[in-house]
Amino acid sequence: MRHTTLLFMMLAGALSVALFSVKYQVQDLEQELIGLNDSIILERQAVHVLKAEWSHLNNSERLERLATRYLGMTQITPEQLSTFDDLPIATASGDGEENQ
């Protein structure tokens, strides 16, 4: 009888230690999860801000103003357009020498 009582006491002690260990591991994992969720929220907010900045920077009216102001670029006119038929025909020599 004493041996079984001692065995059950040791088993109960071991289970208690194991349960406390698991409890603290779960608490650590919960804290890590909370930290990761906070990080995800911050990253989503940063992505939202970056998308807003990207939209502003790629605004066509803004780009047109900047191109005109700093690069001297203007919109193309129909007279600037041509077709492949308007290009001169280049002749290539078959012997690999340059045309003179």
List, for residues 51-83, the tens digit of each pLDDT value. 999 999 999 999 999 999 999 998 888 888 888
For the chain, give the percent of residues with pLDDT over 70.
92
- Decide: 99 and 91 in contact? Cβ < 8 Å: yes
Q: Is 0.85 surpassed by the pTM of this model?
A: no
**Do the domain assignments include residue 55?**
yes
**Do the domain assignments include residue 40?**
yes
Q: What is the pLDDT of residue 100?
A: 46
Among 23, 15, 18, 17, which Cα is nearest to 7's? 15
**Do the domain assignments include residue 92?**
no
**Do the domain assignments include residue 45?**
yes
Q: Which residues contact 73 (CB under 8 A, 6 or more apart)?
A: 67
Highest mean pLDDT among 37-41, 71-75, 94-98: 37-41
Residue 94 above 90 pLDDT? Answer: no
Q: What is the domain count for the chain?
A: 1
Looking up tokens 């690069």, which residue turns up? 71
Q: Quote the domain boundaries for residue 50.
A: 24-72
**Do the domain assignments include residue 13?**
no
Q: What is the pLDDT of residue 97?
A: 52
**Do the domain assignments include residue 2?**
no
